[in-house]
Amino acid sequence: MSAAADVGSLAEGLRRELGAPAVEEIELDLEGARLGLRIAPGPGGALGAALRLLGEAATPALVRGGGTRSAFGHPVPRARVLLETRALLPPTVVDDEDGIAYLPAGAALCDLREHVRKVSEGRWEIPLDPPGDSSTLGGCLAAAAAGPLHAAPRDAVLGLDVTLASGEPTRCGGRVVKNVAGYDLAKLYVGSLGTLGVIEGAWLRLQPAPEAREVWWAPVDDPRQALAAARAASTRVAAWLSREVAAELGAELGENRAGPALLVELAGDAPAVEAEARAWAGRAGAQRLEQGDPMAWLRARQGRPRGLRVRVASLASALAEVARILEEHGAQVLAYPARGELHADVDFSPGVSGDATVERILRGARLAARAGQGDFVVEDAPLAIREVREMFGDPEPRLALFRALKAQYDPRGILNPGRQAGRV
């Protein structure tokens, strides 16, 4: 039986609730799933009705925003319906006086950034910069997708509107963080990969746009040496690049770069940035970068499909050892010292899932995480690898919690079943 025939009766009910334009019968193999329906419900009652019908039919859905994080997490082979969130567009609110905004989950972040910039006349910006130009707000929050400039999407969230698998609309937080239940539920949904509910909109705390901005480059062999620069008052981001990554950026800028380097963006009040820039100007080998946008390049690099990419969390004191282990196992390394975060990737032709390259990189990630007293996750990998490998390091200590949350919030297992750690 075809995937479309499998969900034929469900399609009738969905058309009655959502309208014919929001429901399309398809034959699509995506993320290991054979999908027979594509639905694009609007906000409010439409999304709730769709989820209620999916639950009654016990038909799992693959929930997707812009698709930029599709290779993060495990595949969802049980899904039969593609639920696209692009139509989740409740009205936007930008409070210029308080520096907060209510933004729709289905909108692309690039469009929302421009909207906030125009409404606030350049005074505020959204403190989210996930990899991928087509990333939606909902997808960014569901994946807790961080970029070079902003490390923790949870920190920007004041409140969320979330529709549960039962179809029930819920709200946690709001214009100010105030949860009468005593729990910060927004932090539960951010990073849950769409397995506990579907985000419709979010109240975010905006960030003042910097008055001045400069990007500097300096040769730095040891990522620990980058910590002092990363902690300077005017440093918005500091990234340590291994030899190969530095060479890539050099080629992008039309310059010959040899050896590991530190890339720093200074941002804030003009006098503070100027003072910090003078200190950088006196540093051996330092150079101000005046062409291109290196931070946009870093963001694009993190979003570009590669053979395999892992993210390792580490104590700051262990950064050098962690980077050494990853490089010894054949990875190119990009580190954010102030966060204790290292991204390691390798280009290769995947072949079978037991490919020696995959085994080598994952072994290196395990050793590196142990040395850094942290953990690791696979951020990007081909489908064949994600079908048979665990993508979230060692999830065993947290599996009971993940299963309990899934059972509580999605007992029928209709929202991205299997995507989370341990295939929950």
Express as a percent the part of the chain with pLDDT over 70.
96
CA 238 to chain centroid: 19
> Average pLDDT, stretch 118-127?
97
Digit-coded pLDDT (tens) for 283-308? 888 999 988 889 999 999 988 887 89
Helix, strand, coil abundance in the chain, percent, nearest 5: 35, 25, 40
Phi, psi of 167 (to 5 degrees): 95, -5
Q: Are 204 and 101 in contact (CB under 8 A)?
A: yes
For residues 212 and 269, the answer to whether their CB atoms sit within 8 Å is: yes
- What is the pLDDT at residue 49? 97
* CB neighbourhood size of 409 (10 A): 18
User: Which of 131-135, 166-170, 173-177, 332-336 shows the lowest mean pLDDT across its residues?
Assistant: 173-177
At a CB cut-off of 8 Å and minimum separation 6, what does 277 contact?
214, 216, 266, 288
So what's the pLDDT on residue 352? 47
Per-residue model confidence (pLDDT) at position 357 = 87
Contact at 8 Å (CB) between 376 and 366? Answer: yes
Q: What is the CATH number of domain 93-208?
A: 3.30.465.10
Q: Where are the beta strands (DSSP E) in 127-260?
A: 157-163, 169-173, 198-205, 207-208, 212-219, 235-241
Residue with tokens 């910069």: 129
The pLDDT assigned to 253 comes to: 84
Burial of residue 97 (CB within 10 Å: 0-12, 13-18, 19+) is exposed
Contact 196, 51 (CB under 8 A): no
pLDDT grade for 353, boundaries at 50, 70 and 90:
very low
At 5 the pLDDT is 54
pTM listed for this prediction: 0.94
Whole-number Cα distances in Å, 113 to 103, 127, 203: 10, 9, 14
Domain 3-87+414-423 has CATH 3.30.43.10: yes
Tens-digit pLDDT profile for residues 155-168 = 999 999 999 999 99
CATH architecture observed for domain 305-387: 2-Layer Sandwich (3.30)
